[in-house]
Chain A
């Protein structure tokens, strides 16, 4: 039973436009949400996170929004750059030792 779902396997956007990646979860006990970025043949790297007590967190071009009532979070990348092309994983945890990941969304940013 996947508790974290990314329903879009892929997304393609034009350079300079906004990329919006979505994630849904089912476990209301999750208290911390993260986005990881993964390039081929490398391990995932942490991108941005948000605590369940907040509804928005920004870091440069990256913003994560959390809607607890809908059990939904999204990652906005503005403006998108070709170097952002990667697989993005949404993750959620109760503490740090039980992190659940979504299946990932492959983002392609076209020049």
Chain B
């Protein structure tokens, strides 16, 4: 039981390049989330998927797209990376959306855009 896994752990991109961050959970959770963490800002919600087949914007969705591939997997895509997207990205999942304390986080992807 790996919990929430994220790939890659580290990535360096040049401005304008694209990439997809992968997230998978093996806990049979319904809801999945993508956050970014910046120094002095805490974690901010980018997109979430309340259930398979649905996605919604969070607090900071601009410049990102997401895909809920199946119940296990939720990917985050940067179509044209910008230096402002340099951040640490965390994926999370939860079984019971009505209970906030059950969100489980992955270890993060550290992305640098030059």
Contact = CB atoms under 8 A, between A and B. Distances in A.
Interface stretch (B13-21, B70-78, B79-87, B91-99): B91-99
B107 A46 contact: no
Contact of B92 (A4, A43, A89): A43
B97 A95 contact: yes
B105 A96 contact: no
B53 interface: no
Interface in B1-58: 4, 31, 33, 35, 40-45, 48, 50, 56, 58
B5 to A, nearest CB: 10
A41 B107 CA distance: 7
Interface residues of A, number: 25
B1 to A, nearest CB: 15
A46 B97 CA distance: 15
A34 B101 contact: yes
Contacts of A96: 31, 94, 96-100, 103
B42 A32 contact: no
Given A96-B96, A97-B31, 6 more contacts: A41-B107, A43-B104, A43-B107, A46-B103, A96-B103, A99-B103
Interface of B: 4, 31, 33, 35, 40-45, 48, 50, 56, 58-59, 90, 92, 94, 96-108
